[in-house]
């Protein structure tokens, strides 16, 4: 299973990170523009060597590869949806990958994708290529095989966020082959049925509801008293 850890990052040199992010977003937009134009003309152009050569010095060769790969994956997902178009809801709109740019302000959406072997997180310290360093806030919720690290900048909060993909084992490994069906409700908190059983398992919520009604009545009573006193 793939899960994600999210951190807030404070960089020692924010301008250096911003420069790399501007390069990554520009690379995405350049290659995406060419692919969109080729798609609308009838034949998608999957080549990328020109863009890679133009940006590898700016953002780093490994990071340039990650941006191009993510764009390629986005286009493949788009084509996969087109093939399933007849099976999708009528109000589901399929659009080709968009640009990393705010349509209203024209500002770039600052993002960076770092390959798993090009960064390290140790004792809340983050190290990136090009000698960029930062300190993260927050503890990892998931532990496992570390994947890519995606950085994004929130202009409103003026903060950098890091999203780390992690490959983890399922927390629970089924030991049987039967299927259980569960319904959650109010009067019956849990109603469960195990495959092959005729009698469902029911946990009544009536006692809890009775307590809830009682305490709500008491709260309203004392709120009324407080209003009178005040």
Contact (CB, 8 A) for 51 and 69:
no
Q: Identify whether the C-beta of residue 55 lies closer than 8 Å to the C-beta of residue 113.
A: no
pTM, whole model, 2 decimals? 0.73
Domain boundaries, the chain: 2-167, 180-229
pLDDT string in tens for the chain (230-residue length): 899 999 999 999 999 999 999 999 999 999 999 999 999 999 888 999 999 999 999 999 999 999 999 999 999 999 999 998 888 888 888 999 999 999 999 999 999 999 999 999 999 999 999 999 999 998 888 999 999 999 999 999 999 999 999 999 877 666 778 888 888 887 788 888 888 887 888 888 888 888 888 999 999 888 888 888 76
Residues forming a β-bridge with 229: none
Report the distance separating Cα 166 and Cα 145, nearest Å.
Answer: 6
Cα 215 to Cα 209: distance, rounded to the nearest angstrom: 10
């Amino acid at each position: 299973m793939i899960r994600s850890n999210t951190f807030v990052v404070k960089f020692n040199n924010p301008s250096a990170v911003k420069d790399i992010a501007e390069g990554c977003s520009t690379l995405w937009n350049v290659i995406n523009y060419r692919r969109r134009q080729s798609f609308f003309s009838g034949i998608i152009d999957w080549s990328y060597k020109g863009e890679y050569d133009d940006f590898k010095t700016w953002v780093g060769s490994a990071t340039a590869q990650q941006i191009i790969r993510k764009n390629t994956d986005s286009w493949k997902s788009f084509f996969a949806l087109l093939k399933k178009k007849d099976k999708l809801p009528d109000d589901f709109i399929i659009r080709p990958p968009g640009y990393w740019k705010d349509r209203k302000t024209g500002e770039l959406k600052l993002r960076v994708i770092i390959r798993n072997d090009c960064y390290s997180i140790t004792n809340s310290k983050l190290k990136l290529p090009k000698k960029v360093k930062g300190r993260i806030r927050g503890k990892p919720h998931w532990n496992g095989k570390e994947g890519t690290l995606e950085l994004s900048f929130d202009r409103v909060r003026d903060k950098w966020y890091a999203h780390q993909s992690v490959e983890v084992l399922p927390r629970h490994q089924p030991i049987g082959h039967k299927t259980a069906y569960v319904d959650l409700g109010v009067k019956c908190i849990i109603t469960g049925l195990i495959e092959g059983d005729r009698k469902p398992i029911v946990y009544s919520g009536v006692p809890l509801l009775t307590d809830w009604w009682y305490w709500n009545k008491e709260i309203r009573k004392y709120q009324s008293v407080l209003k009178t006193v005040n």
